[in-house]
């Protein structure tokens, strides 16, 4: 019984280590991120091509960001080497 409990605790702790996948709604959302997916993999300078009337934030690695969800806000995530990793709504 004791070993079973230890396994459950360990499995629960490891579950918190799995990165969350971006839900499809975050890509489509209401911000229009789906229209800019062709820029993923491009250098940071490609952000200038995005026309978005709502709020937009560029998120660099290690940058602190709020976890609130705003469907009309566009997020542009960058990699360590300055390339666009993802474009999502939220």
Tokens of 1: 């019984």
Q: Is 62 exposed, middle or buried (0-12, 13-18, 19+ CB in 10 A)?
A: exposed
Between the alpha carbon of residue 15 and those of residues 2, 7, 10, 19, 86, the distances in Å are 20, 12, 9, 9, 24
pLDDT the model gives residue 6: 45
> Domains along the chain?
33-89 (3.30.10.10)
Tokens of 89: 């709504």
pTM above 0.85, yes or no: no
Question: Alpha-carbon torsion 27, 31, 32, 33, what sign?
Answer: negative
10-residue block means of pLDDT along the chain (90 residues)? 48 47 60 95 97 94 92 95 96
């Amino acid at each position: 019984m004791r070993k079973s409990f230890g396994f459950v605790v360990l499995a629960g702790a490891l579950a918190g280590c799995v990165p969350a996948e971006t839900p499809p709604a975050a890509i489509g959302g209401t911000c229009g991120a789906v229209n800019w997916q062709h820029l993923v993999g491009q250098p940071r300078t490609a952000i200038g091509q995005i026309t978005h009337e709502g709020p937009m934030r560029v998120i660099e690695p290690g940058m602190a960001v709020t976890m609130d969800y705003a469907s009309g806000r566009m997020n542009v995530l960058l990699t360590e080497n300055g390339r666009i990793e993802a474009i999502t709504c939220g």
